[in-house]
């Protein structure tokens, strides 16, 4: 069980310890994309992930879960490489499509793999503790990557490499995730009738039928699709922070405050998961995290779009130097 725990925690840490996370929106803006174009990229990302949410539920039942996780990690690595080598709107869109497929492939897959492996050795009761520990390590890895992104970006700029070092580090993290996934143990599936495609289609039809006939399942699908959409505000935070005057290399340091709050909440979840105090603190923390982008948007609007007596948007209040 120790080996399983180590590998699972490594997988989660590599999944979240990606240098690109705090700066990819800045990359889009730096190559000349408008806010509207960046928004459409996020819509493509979310749209593909939403479209694959139901069919992906059958993937983990029809195919090897650890191979599916490794495949998803390699897809995201390819997406980050595309961003680096083809930094255009279409390159970014392709990268997001690959990322969305990866998200669909891993959605619930790693959790199911962990639970089944623990159940196979009679340790299913350890699932919550191990999953909580892995979630905390994942948040800490995200925090570390966010903090590390600042000097890595600054180093790349110093040597004229731009975001190249950020991209390389992100690809390496994805490769680490793929290696950890392939190293995970996996019990052989009890049912292996027919070919993989036929088995997958049968499970897909069953899943769709259950989603249509069970109100609880439909609600769960809506929640699974809606919560990430609400979190889309966070994607604009790096742009808002930089527009408020923070240097690009300093943006990850500001975002690290959010990561620290998330890591702290995850760490408390295991100890106080049933405590009313913990529930209240979690609600307050989540509300603060969702409110931060809105507050920054208001500050940005107050700075750059002061009220005009003519009824239109005024020129920026701070003049740019040539």
Does residue 63 contact residue 114 with C-beta atoms inside 8 Å? no
User: 111: Cβ–Cβ under 8 A, 6 or more apart, which residues?
Assistant: 131
| 313 has pLDDT over 60 | no
3-state secondary structure 60-76: HHHCCHHHHHHHHHHHH
pLDDT category of residue 293 using cuts at 50, 70 and 90:
low
Return the pLDDT at 322: 33
Return the pLDDT at 321: 35
CB atoms within 10 A of CB 43: 13
| 84 has pLDDT over 70 | yes
- Structure-model confidence comparison of residues 195 and 212, the more confident one: 212
pLDDT averaged over every residue in the chain: 79
| Residue 43 CA from chain centroid, whole number | 15
Does residue 263 contact residue 250 with C-beta atoms inside 8 Å? no
CB atoms within 10 A of CB 111: 16
pLDDT category of residue 39 using cuts at 50, 70 and 90:
very high
Phi/psi for 185 (5° steps) reads -70, 155
- Structure-model confidence comparison of residues 171 and 195, the more confident one: 171
Q: What is the pLDDT of residues 102-121, one digit of tens each?
A: 988 887 888 888 998 999 88
- Structure-model confidence comparison of residues 211 and 28, the more confident one: 28
| 176 has pLDDT over 70 | yes
List the domains of the chain with CATH numbers. 2-231 (1.20.1250.20)
pLDDT category of residue 284 using cuts at 50, 70 and 90:
low
Predicted TM-score of the model (pTM): 0.75
- Structure-model confidence comparison of residues 176 and 258, the more confident one: 176
Return the pLDDT at 161: 84
pLDDT, average across residues 48-65: 74
User: 60: Cβ–Cβ under 8 A, 6 or more apart, which residues?
Assistant: 68, 108, 109, 112, 113
95: nearest Cα among 68, 76, 120: 76
Return the pLDDT at 170: 97
């Amino acid at each position: 069980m120790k080996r399983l725990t180590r590998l699972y925690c490594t997988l989660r840490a590599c999944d979240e310890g990606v240098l690109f996370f705090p700066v990819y929106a800045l990359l889009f803006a730096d190559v000349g994309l408008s806010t509207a174009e960046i928004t459409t990229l996020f819509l493509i990302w979310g749209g593909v992930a939403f479209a694959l949410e139901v069919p992906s539920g059958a993937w983990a039942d029809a195919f090897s879960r650890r191979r599916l996780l490794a495949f998803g990690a390699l897809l995201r690595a390819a997406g980050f490489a595309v961003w680096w080598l083809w930094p255009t709107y279409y390159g970014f869109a392709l990268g997001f499509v690959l990322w969305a497929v990866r998200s669909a492939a891993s959605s619930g897959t790693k959790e199911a793999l962990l639970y089944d492996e623990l159940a196979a050795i009679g340790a299913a009761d350890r699932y919550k503790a191990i999953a909580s520990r892995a979630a905390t390590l994942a948040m800490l890895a995200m925090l570390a990557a966010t903090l590390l992104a600042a000097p890595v970006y600054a180093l790349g700029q110093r040597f004229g490499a731009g975001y190249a070092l950020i991209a390389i580090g992100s690809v390496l993290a994805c490769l680490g995730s793929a290696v950890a996934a392939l190293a995970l143990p996996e019990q052989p599936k009890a049912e292996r009738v027919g070919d993989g495609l036929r088995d997958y289609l049968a499970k897909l039809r069953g899943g769709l039928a259950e989603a249509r006939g069970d109100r609880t399942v439909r609600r769960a699908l809506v929640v699974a699709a809606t919560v990430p959409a609400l979190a889309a505000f966070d994607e604009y935070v790096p742009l808002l922070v930089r527009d408020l005057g923070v240097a690009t290399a300093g943006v990850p340091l500001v975002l690290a405050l959010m990561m620290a709050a998330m890591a702290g909440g995850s760490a408390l979840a295991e100890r106080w998961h049933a405590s009313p105090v913990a529930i209240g603190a979690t609600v307050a923390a989540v509300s603060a995290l969702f409110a931060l982008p809105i507050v920054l948007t208001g500050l940005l609007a107050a700075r750059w779009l002061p009220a005009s007596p003519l009824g239109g948007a005024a020129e920026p209040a701070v003049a740019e130097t040539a």
